[in-house]
Every structure is written in C-alpha cells, then in structure tokens.
Amino acid sequence: MNLAIFDLDNTLLAGDSDYLWGQFLGENGYVDAAVHQKENDRYYKDYLEGSLDINAFLEFQFRPLAENDMKTILSWRERFLNVKIWPAMLPKAIDLIEDHRNMGHELLIITATNSFITAPIAELFNIDNLIAAEPEMLDGKYTGKLSGTPSYAEGKVTRYEQWLQENNFAATTTWFYSDSHNDIPLLNKVTHPIAVDPDDVLKAEAEKRDWPVISLR
C-alpha cells in the first residue's frame, strides 16, 4: 500500500503550531506572557539547533492543559485554530495532500507537537491518521505528563513503526515531506524522502543525498 507522510510544523503550516500556541496563550493572558514567551523562545531555539530536551519541553507545553479544566482549554483551542492556524495553512500544502489523496494513497501526519493541538489541525487538512506526542489523561483530565514515546527525531521512527504494526499496514511505497533536520531518521526510512522549505542542515543533507527539495510557500 502507498503511504504519504507529512510533517506538520513549517511543512504543511507556515509556522510552528507548538510555538504559535505558546504565543496565543501569552497574548490572551492565559499564562504569564513574559515568562512563558521566554521559555517558548528558548525551547524553539533548541529545536532549531537539534538540541531540544523533548521531555522537558512537553512538560512545559502540557502544564496549561493540566492546570485548567477541559471546557476552558477546548474553548481556547477553538479560538487558537481560528486566529493562528487557519492563516498558516498553506494552499500548496493542501494541493499536495489532495494530489496524494487522488492517487489513492493513505495519508498520515507525524509531528512532535502534542495531539491536543494537532488533532483538530489534522482534521482541517482532512487527514484521519495522526501520530503526535500524547499527553497523559486521568479521569478525563490532563495530568501534565507524557504518555508513551514522544514522536520526535528517532522517536518518530519508533512511533511510525508502532503505527504500521498496530494498523496492520504493509507500506510498499512511502513518501515523507519535512522541513527539519530532526526528521532525518524517518526520512532515511521511506522510499521517497522530500525536503520541504528545509532548514540549512536538512538542505545540505538533501543535496548530498540527491533528495528532492521543494517549496510549499
């Protein structure tokens, strides 16, 4: 079976949904704006440099989910999608997704960003399959902890292989579109690795490996 895999942030979106969520929380006074933005900037810099402590970052991201009731955070998320995500959805990304859909390919988004943020974004792109960092829930409330393996760097390979097994999916030809050097481990695993508006490290790797480099901007 043919499978088209897409990274989300800075690939299908013109921006990083994790980072945009942090901005949104601060701009609306849902968190201490100065403190949260400082941490948000620090973690994003680490991500770009490939030195991110993913577990520490996810704990940071999960804190507002754990400290507020579900009704409140769901209302925040609805506004976040309208204010931050809709404007960041790239028309060329939508066209690319539809090209694969029209060819009968299964579609999958795999992202290091947590599923609370990304599940509705996957729905906006009309993609049913999502691999994302999973915030732990207990009695219908987020605990602030991570459940399972984070889908980041080598963890994306682990989670992808788990997904194939759990869904009894025999992938014959695979595509993976990503902007980030953090995704090189998974790019190495697919039939067709494609660099999308890549960072400098991924661009150099793509040129060395003769991987296609495209832009959705």
Name the residues annotated as catalytic. Answer: 7, 9
Q: Return the residue matching tokens 């992808």.
A: 160
CA distance 81 to 65: 16
Q: Find the helix packing angle between 115-124 and 70-80, rounded to 10°.
A: 40
- In Å, the largest CA–CA distance within the chain is 50
E-assigned strand segments in 55-167: 106-114, 129-138, 141-147
CA distance 40 to 44: 6
CA distance 88 to 8: 11
Beta bridge partners of 193: 176
Residue 170 φ/ψ, nearest 5 degrees: -95, 95
Q: Return the residue matching tokens 């960092």.
A: 133
Residue 189 CB burial class (10 angstroms; 0-12, 13-18, ≥19): middle
